[in-house]
Amino acid sequence: MAAFKALDEGNTDRARQIATDHLDAAARDVVMQRIDFREMSKKAEGARIDEIRQNVARLRSDTERVDVLIQLTTDLQQSDPKLARQVLEEARQITNRRATNYGHFEQQLKVAHAFASIDPARSFEVLDPGISQLNELLSAAALLSGFEVNIFRDGELPLMGGSGLKGMISQYGQELASLAKIDFERAETLAGRFQSTESRILARLSIIQKVLGVEPIQPNVNNRGFGQNFTFFRQQ
């Protein structure tokens, strides 16, 4: 906390000193990465997109590249909106591929979220292919249920608890919920593209919660079947 406070105050030397003297290796690496991001952001002001590409290319992984590009987008959004959009398009290019793990889906969600304040229509475009792939994964999981995987319960995807796949659908629903305040009709349409009934419910419940300003509460229900997975709400 002290290191991040120093960094927020613009004192990168102090943040680096605290990280070096007082943090273990894992925590130190996180702080050092944040310092690198901040310094790269400063260099990006007034830079050209080619220079930014060269600097980002030196990073070790696509995850780091996407994180840096999104941070740069945030820092540049006020001072140079045109460059911010170009930088975010670079992140989209990195993530614009078929996901091979949940981490890839999360990168796509980060890019979609960043586009929401720059170009909401682009956010929907980023989310669309991910929903199609999640539909494929749900179909595959249903086919393998009882053999290799056990995501479904009594032939249904539980609305609460459970798998990484269900969690990813929930994350997409939450992102659509945020976009619903900008374009409700398009968010609802994209939520409807989930093919299974349960996944559509998850996405649409997220939209309803966001629009109405409610939070889910879990009832104490002991009956079996679909009914035990319903979520009730209370006003925030």
Q: Domain boundaries in the chain?
A: 98-236
Give dist(CA 182, CA 105) in Å, integer.
22
Give dist(CA 157, CA 102) in Å, integer.
18
Neighbours of 84 (CB within 10 A): 21
Give dist(CA 97, CA 130) in Å, integer.
9
Give dist(CA 159, CA 46) in Å, integer.
48
pLDDT in tens, the chain (236 residues): 888 788 777 788 888 888 888 888 878 877 777 777 666 666 655 567 787 788 788 777 898 889 889 988 887 888 788 888 999 999 999 999 999 888 999 999 999 999 999 999 999 999 999 999 999 988 887 777 666 565 555 555 555 555 678 889 889 999 999 999 899 999 999 999 999 888 899 899 889 888 887 765 443 434 333 333 434 344 44
For the CA atoms of the chain, what is the radius of gyration? 21
Hey, what's the torsion of the CAs at 97, 132, 63, 125, to 10 degrees? 80
**Cα 169 to the chain's mean position, in Å?**
11
In the numeric block, which tokens belong to residue 61?
């992984």
In the numeric block, which tokens belong to residue 178?
């945020």
